[in-house]
Amino acid sequence: MTTHDFYEALPRISDFAELSRASAYTPLPKDWLVCCTDIVNSTALIEEGRYKTVNMVAASVIAAMINAMSGRAFPFVFGGDGVSFAVPPEDHDIAHHTLANLRSWIDREFGISLRAALLPVDWIRQEGLEVSVARYAVSAGADYAMFAGGGLAWSEQQMKAGGFEVLPAEHVMPPDLTGLSCRWQNMKSRNGVILSLLILPTPEGSDRAFSELAARILRLAATLDRSGHPIPKSGPTIGLPQGRFRDESRLVRQNRSALINRLRLMIQFILFMLVFWRGKKVLGFDPEHYRTTLSANADYRKFDDGLKMTLDSTPEVQSALRGLLEEARDSGLIQFGWHEQDEALMTCIVPSALRDDHVHFIDGASGGYTQAAKSLS
């Protein structure tokens, strides 16, 4: 196996609880590169009611990289207002060019500042940290990367301090964001509240103790309907999310005028609604299968140098979770962030609606992970 083949060769783990153990992860090859992005002053954008825009812009990094990599698998994780990913050394120029161009494009189109950083894994290890990865098979058709070791969190801190910066491109080209979309309404809580949780180990805590805590949290969440999955098994409700439709038309317009692209997307959306309304196969596309696959493929929980979850929780489980997390925090084992809201939102990357490898990023609709990060204690 070459370092180029590293991620493709990782085993797919289908049991999420297994990912709470350090033994499930493999260190990245020393010549790989870590990249991270986030949106400057995302808190102010949330206060302006633009969190849907924040999510779409953050996810555009993943869409741009998937297209730039011609569909080759690489590990990435979505964090609400930012993204982290890793690539082998031969893809350095692809990653650098994509990030530089996106910084300029997003600033021009949205007036939003996107930070970006790129650094070798070896530099992270010199700080005594690690970037280890596992591959979670969320369904038969899709999988997500899970990260451990503290290296991503350290990289994000360095980025926010101005380190390892990828500068904006001087000559801007419209990025290829094919597949980035959102044609679904927000998901209202069925159980009482949508919780956004960030649970991060402290340097003083042991890997074993954190793994045991994560397992307890997952067992508690498992008492909820579908383990707290915010999307019903049959899929979300189709609908026209006004703000996100406008954002999508601007993000994916490439060289088309904004008006022409909006009309094009509107026609697509009408056809999309008609197909789902009929509920029958059209040209090989099965809308009911797509709905259930969408629900299965959503990333409502992940390990990203800690445990991050968007849960549809009952008041009883909410109270039990809070007590468990406060006890672990007071013992010095973790820091945790917590945010409550009524709805979850979803941002989608669908390279082809005829395949089952589409991925769907879940977050709280009123700030989600970004707001939870503000409350870390």
**pLDDT tens readout for residues 128-182:** 999 999 999 999 999 999 999 999 999 999 999 999 999 999 999 999 999 998 7
**Total count of residues recorded for the chain:** 377
294-323 pLDDT tens trace: 999 999 999 999 999 999 999 999 999 999
Location of structure tokens 């909006």: 262
**Tokens (6 digits) for 137:** 């098979």
- Residue 8 half-sphere exposure toward CB, CA atoms < 13 A: 9
Q: What is the pTM of this model?
A: 0.93
Which class for 315: exposed (0-12), middle (13-18), buried (19 or more C-beta within 10 A)? exposed
Residue 359 has pLDDT above 80, yes or no: yes
CB 313 within 8 A of CB 321: yes
Identity of the amino acid at 31: D
Name the band, by pLDDT with cuts 50, 70 and 90, for residue 267.
confident
15-45 pLDDT tens trace: 999 999 999 999 999 999 999 999 999 999 9
CB 357 within 8 A of CB 351: yes
Cα 365–chain centre separation: 14
Indicate the domain borders of the chain: 3-235+289-374
